[in-house]
Amino acid sequence: MAASGYTDLREKLKSTTPHRDDYKPKVSDYSNGRKRKYRDSEEDYSDYEEQREVEAQKVQDGIRQVNIFSSVDCAHIEAKIDEVVSAAEKGLYREHTVDRAPLRNKYFFGEGYTYGSKLEKRGPGQERLYSKGEVDDIPDWVHEQVIKKLVESRVIPEGFVNSAVINDYQPGGCIVSHVDPIHIFERPIVSVSFFSDSALCFGCKFQFKPIRVSEPVLFLPVRRGSVTVLSGYAADEITHCIRPQDIKERRAVIILRKTRSDAPRLETKALSATDPPAATPERPWILKPKRSHRKADPDAAHRPRVLEMDKEENRRSVILPERRRKSGSSSDNYWRRSHEASDSYDDTDDNANAARKVKMRRH
C-alpha cells in the first residue's frame, strides 16, 4: 500500500476532487466523416441519433415540393436565364443587380440586399435592403413564365412576389449555410431549379482551406423544374446550404420572395462614395462587365492557395541582382548583403530601376 493509504490512484483523485463525482469521461466519434458530440455510451449515441431524426422530421414538415414546370417550360426559361447572363456580361444592369463570386453569380431583381462581405457590420440581423432603384425591376418573362404559373398552381398568392433572385452555379459552386434574413423576408421562400438536378442540405457546417462540409440533418434532392417551398422550422430554425459536391453540372435557381414592410433599408448616404447615382431614364447606369477567369471545375474549391510568403519570395526574385538569383542561398542576411553591394557597382541599372530599390538596415 502506498504511503498515502491509497492503492488505486483513481480513488485518490476522487477523494481530492469530490465535485467531479458525476464527471463522465469524454470520447469523440468521427465515424462516417461526422464529428459526434462528446458522450460515453451507446445509449447516449442512440439518443443523439433520435434527436437528429426528430429534427429532420421538423425540417421535412416545413418543406413542400411540387412539379409544375415541364421540360419544354424549363428550356424556355433556361434560354431567358442565358439572356440575363449575357446582358450582365455586356454591363447592361445596374451595379447592385449583379453580384459575382467564384463559380456562382447572383442577379437581384425588384429588391436587393447587403449580406456577407457587403455588410457594414458583421453578424445576423445586419442585412439591409438597398435603396429603391438600386437594382433592376423583375423581368417580364419572370412574371409571365414563372410567377404566373406558381399563382395558378396556388403555390403563392397573387401579388406576393416583389423580389426575384437568380443564382447561376457552375460545377463545384456552392452557397454556405445560412437562414434567409427573417427581418428582411416574409415566409414562405420559393425556389425553382433549372438546367440540372442538385440537392439542398439542412443543418450543415462549413470549414475552409480546404473546404469541408459536415453531414446534413436532412438531404433534399432537387430536380430540374421542381419547386421547393420553405416555411416554419425549415425556413427559420435551421440553416440550409448547397454543397460543392452536389453541383456536378451547371445549375440555376430562381428564388422568389416578398420583403417585409418594416425591413430596414440602406439610406442613399450610407452607400459608398464610389457607388454610382441611381439610374434615370435619361441616363441609365451601365455596369462594366467583370469576367471571372476561374474555370468551372468541380475540384476548384480544393486547389491550394498561394501563400503570402510565396508571394514575397516571388517579389524578391524580381528585385534581387542577377547573381543573387543564380545562387541557392535563402538567408535574409545574404539577401541584405547582396542588395547593399548592388548599390556600389550597379548605378546605371539603379537609375533605371530606382522605383524598385529596397533599403535595408543592419541590426
Which of 102-111, 327-336, 349-358 is predicted most confidently? 102-111
Which residue bears the cell 463559380?
A: 103
Average pLDDT value for the chain? 77
* Confidence at 90, pLDDT banded by 50, 70, 90: very high
Residue 334 pLDDT:
42
Cβ pair 214, 205 in contact under 8 A: yes
Is the pTM value of this prediction over 0.85? Answer: no
* Confidence at 30, pLDDT banded by 50, 70, 90: very low
**Lowest mean per-residue pLDDT among 189-193, 238-242, 313-317:** 313-317
Helix (H) / strand (E) element for 63: namely strand 63-67
CA gap 305, 321 in Å, rounded? 28
Residue 358 pLDDT:
47
Measured in residues, the chain has a length of 363
Instruction: List Cα–Cα distances, 200 to 38, 45, 102, 234, in angstroms.
Output: 28, 26, 19, 11
- Residue 44 pLDDT > 70: yes
- Is-catalytic flag, 38? no
pLDDT in tens, 234-293: 999 999 999 999 999 999 999 999 999 999 999 765 444 445 444 454 445 444 444 444
The predicted model gives 55-81 an average pLDDT of 98
Q: What percent of the chain has pLDDT over 90?
A: 55
pLDDT in tens, 134-159: 999 999 999 999 999 999 999 999 99
Q: For residues 82 and 313, which has the higher predicted lDDT (pLDDT)?
A: 82
Q: For residues 331 and 201, which has the higher predicted lDDT (pLDDT)?
A: 201
Query: Which phi-psi region, left, alpha or beta, contains residue 252 (left: φ > 0; alpha: ψ -120 to 50)?
Result: beta
- Residue 4 pLDDT > 90: no
- Residue 182 pLDDT > 80: yes
- Of the candidates 115, 111, 136, the one whose C-alpha atom is nearest the C-alpha of residue 124 is 115
CA gap 220, 232 in Å, rounded? 16
- Residue 344 pLDDT > 90: no
CA gap 110, 136 in Å, rounded? 6
Considering Cα of 20, then 27, then 209, then 102, what sign does the dihedral take?
negative
The predicted model gives 95-122 an average pLDDT of 89
Please tell me which residue in 93, 113, 130, 169 is annotated as part of the active site: 113
* Confidence at 116, pLDDT banded by 50, 70, 90: confident
* Confidence at 306, pLDDT banded by 50, 70, 90: very low
Residue 25 pLDDT:
43
